[in-house]
Homo-oligomer: A and B are copies of this chain.
Amino acid sequence: MLIRIVDQVDLQEAYQYLQAPTAGGIDLFIGTVRDNAKGKNVVKLVFEAYAPMALKEMRKIADRAQAQWPLERLVMLHAVGEKRVGEPVVIIGVASAHRDAAFTACRFLIDELKKTVPIWKKEYYQDNSVWVNAHP
């Protein structure tokens, strides 16, 4: 598995890594910076990670996915730093013999990443900024 916290995620790197002669289906999820959040115009996002722990948590999620589905390759890349509208922030990729496992595992990986991996996102609007999810 390829699991990394990087300054810029790279789709080509993910796709290269997912190559396997035994794989018939690859599912790739790419999270990008959207221009609005809850009706506000987003100018940029800034991501911060507790990197050693984030990598550990990502590996745990990847291990759970590999225990549950027959996966040939697995990629989780997450960016840190400042990201502008349209830029990719996270890439999750899974290669499997059949597409069912690829889709299901890819969805699982991104859903779980959002729940437990210690990475934080600050949203900057025109006039202020907020740490996402911080307050009820």
Complex contacts, A36 vs chain B, CB 8 Å: 22
Decide yes or no whether A30 CB sits under 8 A from chain B. Answer: yes
Decide yes or no whether A29 CB sits under 8 A from chain B. Answer: yes
Decide yes or no whether A26 CB sits under 8 A from chain B. Answer: yes
23 A-B pairs whose Cβ atoms sit less than 8 Å apart in the complex: A11-B12, A12-B12, A19-B86, A21-B85, A22-B35, A23-B32, A23-B34, A24-B31, A24-B32, A24-B34, A25-B29, A25-B30, A25-B31, A26-B28, A26-B29, A26-B32, A27-B27, A27-B29, A28-B28, A28-B29, A28-B30, A31-B99, A32-B95
Decide yes or no whether A107 CB sits under 8 A from chain B. Answer: yes
Closest to A87 in B: B19
B86 and A21 form a contact (CB under 8 A): yes
Residues A74-127 near B (CB distance < 8 A): 85-86, 95, 97, 99, 102-103, 106-107, 110
Closest to A95 in B: B32
Complex contacts, A20 vs chain B, CB 8 Å: 86
Complex Cα distance, B106 from A24, in Å, reads 16
In the complex, which of the residues B22, B28, B103 contacts A34, with contact meaning CB atoms closer than 8 Å?
A: B22
Complex contacts, A107 vs chain B, CB 8 Å: 99, 103
Decide yes or no whether A47 CB sits under 8 A from chain B. Answer: no
